[in-house]
Every structure is written in C-alpha cells, then in structure tokens.
A = this chain, B = another copy of it.
Amino acid sequence: MNDLKKIAIVGGTGREGFGLALRWAKAGKSVLIGSRSEEKARAAAEKLNARLGQALAVGVPNSLAAHQADMIVLTVPYQGHDLILQAIREGAQGKIVVEVTVPLAPEDPTQVQMPEMGSVAEETQAFLGPGSPVIGAFHTVSSASLKRLDQPPDHDVLVFGDHLQAKEEVLRLAELIGFRALDAGPLLAGRTIERLPALLVWLNKRYQKKDISFRFTGL
C-alpha cells in the first residue's frame, strides 16, 4: 500500500467515483480521474482540488488513466461498460482492477439485469485476463455519505475476489477512508453483492431517504 502511488477512478466524474476520489485524495493518495471526455475529467479534478485546497487529482481520458495508475477503480454505468473495458485493457495489465459497476436495469434502478456470466466482476475478469486481478468492492457505498467529508461513513464495505493478496490491498484501501471493510468471499460473491444496490434504491424510494446502506452486526 505504501507503494501504491496513483489510483485511477475510471468513471470518476460520476457521483460514486467522484466521492471515492475525494476520500482517497483527502487521505493523501494521488488520484487520476478518468472519463471518456477529457474535458469532463479535468473539470472534475479541478472541482476536487478546489474542495480540498490541494492539487491531488488530475483529469485524463480513461485509457490514459489506466496506463498511468497503479490501481484502477471502475465506477461506470453498466451500459457502455464493455467499451470502457476495451479502453483500459492494455493499461490495466499487471494491475489490480476494483470493479464497482452495478448492473442496474436501465429502465428500473430498483431491479438488476445480471450479466450472463453471473456478475459484472466475473465478466470483467474474463475480459481482462489473469494479468489483472479483479476485486469487487464499494457497491453498496452511499455517494452522498462519501461527500460529507466531516463524517466517517456509517456503513460497511464488502470486498470480494479470488486473488487474496489483491483483496487484502483493497480491504486496506477501504479502511484508509474510514470504512469497516469485510472480506465477503470469492469473485462469484458478486452474483449476490452486485444485486444489493437495487435493493437499496428500492428502500430509499420506499422510505424517502437518500443514502440507506447497512452495517453488519454480530461481528
């Protein structure tokens, strides 16, 4: 972790990605905000640096972000996810890829449309190949709570994957920004965990809230 100099947030202009970028930058990490649009990436990085009063983030196109980073975090809509994977494949070789993408149903975010392979995490791993260990994490994190920098997050993070050392690194990366992070199993745990954000969207609507998540008990 001490050697981990740069984290690329591919899709870092979105709410979830921006929130994670903000937290990691605040914790002292150097952050690359990636977007399909270089202009949007730069604008998001400027916004982040202005908020923290320090030049910790740089905005670049997704493929460049992947090339320049030591670790890559994917926070993109599932629609268009395949094109993003193509853009980062080369740059991601030899690096941990943290998959945060949720396969929400396009017409109804209280539902999911799971990939044929079972989960996005498994699909990404199959596409990138064994040179890029894929770890799933942060799916159930509330973007609203990420932005409240004066408060530690009040919910847990589930981290899953088949590469144990990579999983360990991602657990520590979550703890770095104040989360209790739990090892939630192998990569196929994504078949369950990637469904949870749709349940949270449902609960938020039902109870007119904005950032429902959960904390484990009995631990």
Contact = CB atoms under 8 A, between A and B. Distances in A.
Given A184-B199, A193-B199, 19 more contacts: A111-B188, A142-B218, A154-B217, A155-B217, A182-B203, A184-B202, A184-B203, A189-B199, A192-B192, A192-B195, A192-B196, A192-B198, A212-B216, A212-B217, A213-B217, A213-B218, A214-B215, A214-B217, A215-B215
Interface in A183-219: 183-185, 188-189, 191-193, 195-196, 198-199, 202-203, 206-207, 209-219
Contacts of A191: 195
Interface residues of A, number: 35
A110 interface: yes
User: Which are the 10 A-B pairs with shortest beta-carbon distances?
Assistant: A192-B195, A212-B218, A214-B214, A211-B218, A185-B202, A154-B217, A155-B217, A214-B216, A213-B217, A192-B199
A203 B189 contact: no
A145 interface: yes
Nearest to A206: B183
